[in-house]
Amino acid sequence: MTEPLLSIRDLKVEFSTRNGRVTALDGIDLDLMPGETLGIVGESGCGKSITALATMGLIPDPPGRIAGGRILFDGEDITHADARRLRSLRGADISMIFQEPMTSLNPVFTAGDQIAEAIILHQQLGRAEANRKAVELLRTVGIPEPERRARSFPHELSGGMRQRVMIAMAISCRPRVLIADEPTTALDVTVQAQIFDLMRDIQKEFGVAIMLITHDMGAIAEMADRVAVMYAGRIVEKGSADAILDNPLHPYTRGLIDCIPVLGKAAGEQGRMPPLAEIPGVVPPLHLLGQGCAFADRCPLAFDRCRIETPILDGRSHGVACFATEMEAV
């Protein structure tokens, strides 16, 4: 069995806020295998982006801090690596693309300059050579007229092109892990599909492992090999993408899947579409988390035990942290 490239063990991240100390991540376990795509799903505020930032060593400290657990990259514990080591990892071995291509590019530098900058930070290359490589990368990520586009400022590019530029920056040093934090949320649907195609191509070409963070089950179905479903700082269900999409165990996962609108499905007798499914309520604020399952208040299956004990993710290949449904999985 191959070793995981990135391995997160019992990771706890805390933030000090006005309401006291809150636990944003409460014992996360994740493994990312070389060349695979791991999807991390959940609503806003459930800890997906914090997981990504923690992996990059970018938790803003203060107010945040890693309170426990380990992050292993290729066997090396990088949880408490010094700033120099982290800088040499970032961009070179682990890189990241962000949600908002509008705001994640520096507005005063051209696309080419920014990619060249990323190259120069990690490779012993002159400016001219780096610029040449930047144009090459723009071609790789499917930008037409890369020579001209290299000289465009971010505001002169469309959203999809900016995200391509971000991807070009992220892969400029051939990283082994690419963290994509909602890479298509800000883009329209046709462009989303193109960006996913591009990410798949890049994965094939470079063999990079992708950690795809999203709230969109459709994106998971399209991209992910394995999936971790997060809720309120914990992983509530974990397994292969097929298993989770075909046989979701946790009521939260089921809710997320029911939220995907399906064209033509169940148009009623009068030809009316049933209303779009939703999960009632919102993710509880972290400082109000008490004992018991964090999802209990929104859960259709909750019973007394759920409000007293916190369910633990079981260790099976398709694991779930739920008292109500864990029996089904056996």
Partner 1 sequence: MSMADATANSHAVEGARPLRDALIAYRRNKPALLGMLLLSAIIAFVIYGTFFFKGDPYEIVWAPQTPPGTDAAVPLGTDYLGRDIMRGLLKGGGPTLAVGAAAAIITLVIGISLGGIAGFFGGWIDDLLMRVTEFFQVLPALLFAMVVITLFSPSTLTTAIAIGVVLWPQTARLTRAEFLKIRELEYVTAARSIGARNGRIMWKVILPNALPPLVVSATLTVGVAILFQAGLSFLGLDDPNTMSWGLMIGTNRQYILDAWWPVTFPGIAIFLTVFAVSLVGDGLNDAFNPKLRGR
Q: Which spans of this chain sit near partner 1 (rule: CB under 8 A)?
A: 56, 58, 62, 83, 87-92, 95-96, 98-100, 103-110, 112-113, 116-118, 121-122, 127-128, 131-132, 134-135, 147-148, 150-151, 153, 155, 166, 169-170, 172
- CB under 8 Å to 87, separation ≥6 — which residues? none
Sign (positive or negative) of CA dihedral 218, 223, 224, 230: negative
CB of 122 to partner 1, least distance (A): 6
Nearer to partner 1, 67 or 86 (CB): 86
| Alpha helices for the chain (secondary structure H) | 48-56, 83-89, 111-122, 127-140, 146-149, 159-170, 189-206, 217-223, 241-246, 251-258, 304-308
CB of 289 to partner 1, least distance (A): 26
CB of 54 to partner 1, least distance (A): 13
Nearer to partner 1, 97 or 249 (CB): 97
CB of 225 to partner 1, least distance (A): 24
86 to each of 81, 89, 253, how far by Cα in Å?
A: 6, 5, 34
Sign (positive or negative) of CA dihedral 245, 247, 250, 251: positive
Nearer to partner 1, 105 or 220 (CB): 105
CB of 103 to partner 1, least distance (A): 4
Nearer to partner 1, 99 or 325 (CB): 99
| Sheet architecture: strand order including 94-97 | 94-97, 177-181, 209-214, 37-41, 226-231, 234-240, 319-320
Nearer to partner 1, 186 or 321 (CB): 186
